[in-house]
Amino acid sequence: MSPAARPGPDDLRRTFDAVPARTPDARTPFADSWWGRAWVDALETLSMDEGRLARGRAYADGGHVAAVTVTPGRVIAYVHGSRPRPYRAELRLRTFTASDWDTFLDAVAARPGHLSALLDKEMPHSLVDTAGETGIRLLPAAGDLDPDCSCPDRGWPCKHVAALCFQTARLLDSDPFVLLLMRGRGERELLDELGRRNAEHSARERPAGPAVPSVAAEDALTDRYLPPLPAPLPVPPHPGAPPAYPELPGARDPLGLDHLATDAAARAHALLTTGADPLAGLGTWQDAVRIAASRPTAGLTATTRALYRELAFATGRNTTDLARAVAAWRQGGAQGLEVLENAWDPPAGPFDRARPALTAAGFPRYQPWRNRLTDPSGTLQLRFGHDGRWYGYESDPGQDDWWPRAVPDSDPVGALTTLRG
């Protein structure tokens, strides 16, 4: 199973989601592609300790490697070892100089098959050979890899970095542009540059011939060919109300449909007036929660109950799941919903300072688990969000049934004080 990638805004930072554990098979190579296996070979040449390599592979197989972030010259991930806090594993790789890239791109662009292979997420042997002929070593040798880890093990590399190396081989299997990013260039920049150089190379090789008469685009698209477009209609000051929906045999509740139509009209009005979609980036479930949370009397009216049934049915959830998610959305929007549904491992910093701050404020010692702190009674909980705020949760005694409560706060003491009333 290939990990999903989340590209950064400048294409020079890609984060790959953690992949679930898999059943290891020592008889088959860890990587499927030949270039992925070459990466593993470089790792195995780097290490003289087969025991650490075996434990690293077991960690990678067991799903111990969290999300992997790739930037020019380095690969970073948190790896869960035997202790509660994960270790920060890093692998550095030498990037190409501007001169190296110029030489490499010119050599690759001269071979159209190389560009086609990269577009198909393949790295043929001939591409690596072409780079090698110009003195550019694309795949790493043992001396190119520089490992580092926050664990106390001084192995070279330790089992946590070994696990990251094995996981990186899986990334390379699915996308050879990961290796090129490690060497210093993002996918979009590379494809644009290769396409431009390939076109220039083809133009130089194309034999000269008689000029073909043509018509300039501005002459072709004159008023005599195309009639002018009508002026756009003025945007109304308000979205307006949707039409009334009659009761139809076998139809779902029209009250929920009315609310969905009203929401769609408001979204269309925002697009017309601002040119931007206010809901860009929301998934189906997030948008369903947002729609449900927009009702001011959630759970109290027939209209709201009908809407909950429609949204729960459409997303494959039940109404209790939706009600809990609505509470999280009202607590903190999309970030509040993320805190409800996903636990994560915060890096060293504010999360580690929260427990001493709570103790100093006179609160009992809270039990940590990933991004969560739970009080000894098991009824109150603080969750640390990616936005740096603390979200309060409450559960009945003896029940693992947490519901969002109170307003999030950047200070854990303030968040807990609000949560306690």
Angle between helices 125-133 and 112-119 (to 10 degrees): 130
Residue indicated by tokens 């060293």: 348
CB-based contact 43:166 (threshold 8 Å):
yes
pLDDT at 215 (0 to 100): 66
pLDDT at 225 (0 to 100): 60
Q: Give dist(CA 32, CA 173) in Å, integer.
A: 6
Q: Give dist(CA 334, CA 86) in Å, integer.
A: 27
Backbone torsions φ then ψ of 141, nearest 5 degrees: -100, 175
Give the H or E element holding residue 249.
Answer: none
Query: Token pair for residue 21?
Result: 């554990």
Sheet architecture: strand order including 372-374: 367-369, 372-374, 380-384, 390-394, 403-409
Domain range summary for the chain, segments of one domain joined by +: 5-204, 254-335, 350-419
pLDDT at 5 (0 to 100): 53
* Helix locations, 62-186, DSSP H: 98-109, 112-119, 125-133, 159-174, 177-182
Supply the DSSP symbol for 316: T
Q: Give dist(CA 285, CA 338) in Å, integer.
A: 11
Residue indicated by tokens 């759970």: 299
Q: Give dist(CA 217, CA 212) in Å, integer.
A: 15
Give the predicted TM-score (pTM) of the model. Answer: 0.48
Which stretches in the chain have pLDDT values below 50?
Answer: 1, 7-9, 298-299
